[in-house]
Amino acid sequence: MSSPISIRSRVKSQALQQRAERFFPGGVNSPVRAFRAVGGAPPFIESARGAWLTDADGNRFIEYFGSWGPMILGHAFQPVVEAIERAARNSASFGASTAAEADLAERITACYPAIEKLRFVSSGTEATMSAIRVARAATGRKMIIKFEGCYHGHSDGLLVKAGSGVATFGIPGSAGVPEEIAHLTHALPFNDIAAVEAAFDAHPDVFAAVIIEPIVGNAGCIPPAPGYLSALRALTLREGALLIVDEVMTGFRVALGGALELYCLDADLVTLGKIVGGGLPIGVFGGKRALMDLLAPLGPVYQAGTLSGNPLAMAAGIATVSYLQNHAAQVYPRLEATAQAVFEGVADAADQAGVSLTVNRVGSMGTWFFNPGPVTDYTEAAQSDTAAFGRFHNSMLENGVWLPPSQFEAAFLSTAHGEAEVQATIAAAHKAFQAVKHH
Ligand code: HOZ
């Protein structure tokens, strides 16, 4: 079976990268995009439809990062495009209220019983940062617990032992974050409930909140062990700390009601992003009414934003979320079946080539770890053979398949991925594993 396309040339992308390096650090506006972890110059995208990207040189790729999660319905999905066009005709921003904000909020709260009230912001970073501020105000405590390899955006206190680019580039903790702030964050291993219990015992009454990616997406994909999340919920309730479940990646992806629905979990505060904006910049933090009513103008916690509730983001979000609500019975089983086929197909190709892989997957997000496994926390993820992953990534790209350019990022599928894309991906993987092996 042949792979979808052979890449002709990257000349234009290379020139565009060189030009971009004059203006942007590393030539990029977000570090992982620079491909430093896998080598080679990143293709520059011109357009995308469904599961396919077209670069500046006219090469076409089947892609598995979906703008890092939002594009669950595929690129340029017609109802989303039309909703954005309609909204744009009425102006791109007002800095004042519109009915669309409550329309989207109504849909979100219908899918997330834990969210009684919410605020729209412009990114996941703002959402988690604001949720923590609310938690500190509500509890009168300063410290937070986060988990190694979890990434909750780039606010100061959340870069401690973080995943995503921080893990990709092996940055121990960001320069520029004052020690006094980093010390307010206590990082613990994921999937280890005894470690959380020990932290609460050692430091009683100091933790305002525990923040967690319920399924880690930013150290590669790491699912929670059975019972782990409910034990965490019970501990936070017992200790008077709030549970902040960061569903920026998992929200509306692993189920209509995200990981909270999948694992029958409750939370004090929840953060969302990505899918709820249909690909436009958005973040959400929300939760129990009494907590959210601490926000100005009702309460003393300040938080604001000119582009919060932006009408184009609301329009794209409503189009995406309403489609998911109306077609959930088809969308989620389809995503599960396609993801299972591609993750297992690639794993079989690795087996046949004698390459040792561990596949972690929850629904349409997952990771092929170059690691005999198991991978249950960041320490285990970090033992992966990142050089072999880099060779695999490059070879897949040469054969027309664009994976996330880091071992420590999850891959995402969309409803636009179908049998043809799956078969072409598996064919490319057979070639790529030979490249890994014969290095
Ligand atoms: N940190 C993002 C994924 N976990 C990458 C964002 C981007 O480069 O667009």
Bridging pattern class, strands 365-369 and 358-362: antiparallel
pTM: predicted TM-score of the whole model, two decimal places: 0.96
pLDDT over 80 (residue 8): no
pLDDT digits (tens, 9 = 90+) for 196-216: 999 999 999 999 999 999 999
Angstrom distance (rounded) from CA 265 to CA 285 = 17
pLDDT over 70 (residue 70): yes
User: What mean pLDDT is reported for the chain?
Assistant: 95
- Distances 50 to 5, 287, 313, 418 between C-alpha atoms, Å: 17, 33, 20, 10
Whole-number Å distance, alpha carbon 404 to ligand 1 midpoint, is 9
Contacts of 170 (CB under 8 A, 6+ apart): none
For residue 165, which atom of ligand 1 is closest to its CA? 1
- Percent with pLDDT over 90 in the chain: 91
> Which residues contact ligand 1 via a Cβ below 6 A?
30, 32-33, 68, 151, 164-165, 218, 409
Catalytic residue among 268, 274, 288, 323: 274
Angstrom distance (rounded) from CA 433 to CA 389 = 10
pLDDT digits (tens, 9 = 90+) for 379-425: 999 999 999 999 999 999 999 999 999 999 999 999 999 999 999 99
Indicate if 161 belongs to the active site.
no
Q: Mean per-residue pLDDT for 131-135? A: 98
Residue 9 confidence (pLDDT): 87
**Better-predicted residue by pLDDT, 156 or 5:** 156
CATH of 11-44+329-427, one of 3.40.50.1100, 2.40.50.140, 2.30.30.30, 3.90.1150.10: 3.90.1150.10
| Residue 3 Cα to chain centre, angstroms | 28
Residue 166 confidence (pLDDT): 74
Band of pLDDT at residue 170, cut at 50, 70 and 90:
low
Indicate if 348 belongs to the active site.
no
Indicate if 151 belongs to the active site.
yes
CA angle 248, 254, 260 (to 5 degrees): 70
Backbone conformation region of residue 121, classed left if phi is above 0, alpha if psi is from -120 to 50, else beta: beta
Tokens of 257: 């009601």
Residue 112 confidence (pLDDT): 98
Angstrom distance (rounded) from CA 72 to CA 101 = 21
pLDDT digits (tens, 9 = 90+) for 233-247: 999 999 999 999 999
pLDDT over 50 (residue 1): no
CATH 3.40.640.10 holds for 78-326:
yes
pLDDT over 90 (residue 5): no
For residue 30, which atom of ligand 1 is closest to its CA? 8
- Percent with pLDDT over 70 in the chain: 97
For residue 217, which atom of ligand 1 is closest to its CA? 4
Catalytic residue among 55, 112, 228, 246: 246
Residue nearest to atom 1 of ligand 1 (CA): 164
Q: Which mutation among 24, 29, 30, 159 tests ligand 1's pocket best, with the greatest number of atoms within 8 A of CB?
A: 30
Tokens of 334: 């389809």
Domain with CATH 3.90.1150.10 in the chain: 11-44+329-427
Q: Which mutation among 24, 63, 68, 150 tests ligand 1's pocket best, with the greatest number of atoms within 8 A of CB?
A: 68
**Better-predicted residue by pLDDT, 71 or 173:** 71
pLDDT digits (tens, 9 = 90+) for 279-327: 999 999 999 999 999 999 999 999 999 999 999 999 999 999 999 999 9
Q: Mean per-residue pLDDT for 330-344? A: 98
